[in-house]
């Protein structure tokens, strides 16, 4: 299962040391990962949610998708939906595996986040069965200035569950969940996590098309606790353009899960801040992003997809060890 190591007090951060966990460059988009027993499972954007399994994070086996067909509630909310399900998030709590996922029309905030649970991730187990709990969060055009995609569940030090999510528009959000992890706590309170600073010299983006969003391009929040800090990883600039992609991951941190998050230069992430973590190197990867972060066997890892410069910009899995420098900032090469 996935663990988030939490330490009390201030930790002595390590000098940057990087080890690359090799993969066989399997196709992956928006990868998240978890370990059950001796098996790693990876969930990705795809028809019905793509699933892979591995015992070593090197050789991967493709499993059946989570959903054989779209749920009835999805078809009702999004009649144009064809089954391509985005940006899953997987974690283990209270004896169940919780899988959050996004359904949306591309470039519009006609979006919903759903959640499904399972007792096990082993397909051979008699207990293997995904139970869909329906819609958790929805964004509606002309009502909401945020987008309900890219969910990430986080449990804080007080055992309070939070869901971060969002992309483009006015940025990334955070909302408290009930202890059942499948419903939003009331009264509802929506926190702002990060946004891109708008450049006055550039025209205002169109709210109807993602590719016109210019320098407001931000998505895929992922929260990770290390020592006294909550780290907010986000992806900025553009994915999904093959060799023309310029996706990258930046990070900020806070001593409170609700923020405010600031970068190394103390610039708030709500004002366009964010310190670079990963980006394309133009030789192997033209771009990289939509990350997740985990602790496996006492080591921290960052998992993300890169656009392969040698294979026409195809999206593939990358796993690297993540270290923290003397100032407690995450470092990866």
Binding site, annotated residues for substrate? 30, 107, 147-150, 167-169
Among 90, 112, 109, 108, CA closest to 3: 90
DSSP per residue over 61-85, as a string? EEE--S-SS--HHHHHH-TT--SEE
Distances in Å between the Cα of 263 and the Cα atoms of 58, 73, 90, 257, 300 are 33, 39, 27, 15, 20
| Pairwise CA distance, residues 300 & 330, whole Å | 10
Annotated binding site: 30, 107, 147-150, 167-169
Structure tokens at 37: 């027993």
Q: What is the pairing mode between strands 161-165 and 50-54?
A: unpaired
Structure token digits, residue 303: 């998992």
Rounded-to-integer distance, Cα 124 and Cα 143, Å:
44
| 326 in active site | no
Catalytic residue among 89, 219, 263, 300: 219
**Is 189 tagged catalytic?**
no
Catalytic residue (choose from 30, 144, 263, 300): 30
Q: How far apart are the C-alpha atoms of 182 and 177, rounded to whole Å? A: 7
The DSSP output letter for 204 is P
Evaluated on CA atoms 41, 307, 282, 170, the torsion sign reads negative
CA distances from 208 to 82, 108, 139, 168, 217 (A): 20, 5, 13, 11, 14
Bridge-based pairing state of the strands 190-194 and 172-176: antiparallel
Here the tokens at position 248 are 């990258």
CA angle 4, 49, 119 (to 5 degrees): 55
Q: What does the block give as tokens for 315?
A: 């999206």
Angle at 106 between CA 100 and CA 109, to 5 degrees: 70
- Residues noted as catalytic: 30, 219
């Amino acid at each position: 299962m996935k663990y988030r190591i939490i330490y009390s007090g201030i930790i002595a951060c390590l000098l940057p040391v990087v080890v690359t966990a090799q993969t066989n460059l399997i196709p992956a988009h928006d990868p998240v990962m978890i370990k059950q027993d001796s098996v790693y499972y990876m969930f990705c954007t795809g028809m019905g949610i793509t699933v892979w399994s591995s015992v070593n994070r090197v050789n991967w086996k493709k499993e059946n998708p989570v959903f054989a067909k779209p749920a009835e509630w999805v078809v009702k909310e999004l009649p144009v939906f064809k089954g391509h399900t985005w940006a899953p998030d997987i974690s283990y709590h209270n004896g169940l595996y919780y899988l959050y996922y996004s359904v949306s029309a591309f470039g519009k905030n006609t979006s919903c986040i759903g959640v499904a649970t399972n007792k096990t991730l082993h397909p051979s187990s008699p207990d293997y069965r995904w139970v869909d709990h329906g819609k958790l969060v929805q964004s509606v055009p002309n009502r909401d200035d945020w987008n309900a995609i890219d969910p990430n569940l986080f449990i804080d030090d007080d055992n309070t569950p939070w869901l971060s999510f969002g992309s483009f528009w006015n940025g990334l959000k955070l909302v408290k969940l009930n202890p059942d992890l499948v419903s939003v706590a009331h009264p509802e309170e929506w926190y702002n996590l990060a946004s891109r600073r708008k450049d006055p010299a550039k025209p205002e983006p169109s709210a109807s098309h993602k590719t016109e969003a210019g320098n407001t391009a931000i998505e895929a929040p992922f929260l990770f606790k290390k020592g006294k800090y909550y780290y907010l990883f986000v992806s900025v600039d553009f994915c999904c353009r093959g060799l023309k992609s310029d996706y990258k991951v930046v990070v900020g941190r806070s001593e409170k899960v609700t923020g405010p998050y600031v970068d190394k230069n103390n610039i708030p992430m709500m004002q366009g801040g964010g310190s670079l973590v990963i980006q394309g190197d133009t030789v192997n990867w033209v771009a990289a992003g939509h990350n997740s972060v985990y602790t496996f066997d006492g080591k921290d890892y960052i998992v993300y997809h890169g656009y392969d410069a040698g294979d026409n910009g195809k999206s593939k899995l990358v796993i690297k060890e993540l270290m923290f420098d003397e100032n407690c900032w995450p470092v990866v090469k």
